[in-house]
Structure 1
């Protein structure tokens, strides 16, 4: 009887040791995979951004900025834009709060100095909008891109530079 108990204890010790070894291997493999995905994804994102930057440099479109260096700063428009837009069933009222993303403090000063010009350019674009288009995400994106182009054109006529890098809608309400 004593020999049987001893064999059972030896067998259970071997099983426990085997289970512990498997658990350690699984943890090491899982940790290695997590490290690879977390640390490897940063390199992939930075490479992708570098490739996109190279692609944007080859395009001579108005939406690409002349210089993409410097800290991103945001200039808020002092008041929201409230306007009427025609729709297929009825007219709607739209309120858009906008901010401009610019790079560098010198561009920030230029944008703040020309806020009335920027507001006028944005109102020109917003007045051409349609309620049916603004109800969709694609329509909102299209009006943002049109607004960016119009603001860049207006500012480049005055300052000789594309001061604004992005027009951002921080509030969008349509009733």
Structure 2
């Protein structure tokens, strides 16, 4: 009789062990299934978010005012950059005015002026002194300046909006 009681307890322990094993397997399958579903969602729905981001970028560009009167922003401090040419110290000093038709972007330029000035100084100092003496070199510098400013504005606000850069003073010595 004592042996029968031990066997009954052992069978109940085996049933409880089987239940625990089944619960662990079910939980493991749920965790793996949830992880797989999350991976599928992030990997395969990324194409849709990229397309949506492209659509948002296109609609953001449309939000920049492209018509209306021109608004000018004079960058107060002159940019001064030094060059070493054939062992001689050379300087470039230039003043700039920005042209846009969107007051919001002019305000954004004012807000992000330190970042814009830093990027422009780096751009100007990376130029060739001899190349800047030509009209083509100056035109290329204007275009690069517009691209630099618009890329910063796009990075910070999601919109470009600067149409042109006007060099109001350009001295090379």
Preserved contact between residue 65 and residue 102 of structure 2 (Cα < 8 Å): no
Q: Give unpaired runs (5+ residues) of structure 1.
A: 1-59
Q: Shift of the alpha carbon at 1:105?
A: 2.0
Preserved contact between residue 91 and residue 131 of structure 1 (Cα < 8 Å): no
CA distance in 1, matches of 2:95, 2:157: 25
Structure 1, residues 3-61: CA drift from partner, whole Å, max 9, x if none? Answer: xxxxxxxxxxxxxxxxxxxxxxxxxxxxxxxxxxxxxxxxxxxxxxxxxxxxxxxxx9x
2:74 to 70, 73, 76: 76
The aligned counterpart of 1:145 is: 143
CA distance in 1, matches of 2:140, 2:83: 15
The aligned counterpart of 1:136 is: 134
The aligned counterpart of 1:102 is: 100
SS in 2 for 1:95: strand
Preserved contact between residue 150 and residue 161 of structure 2 (Cα < 8 Å): yes
The aligned counterpart of 1:85 is: 83
TM-score by length of 1: 0.58
SS in 2 for 1:129: coil
Q: Give structure 1 regions of 4+ aligned residues with deviation exceeding 4 angstroms.
A: none
Preserved contact between residue 85 and residue 129 of structure 1 (Cα < 8 Å): no
Structure 1, residues 50-96: CA drift from partner, whole Å, max 9, x if none? Answer: xxxxxxxxxx9xxxx95421221111112000111233563311101
- Is 1:121–2:116 an aligned residue pair? no
CA distance in 2, matches of 1:141, 1:86: 22
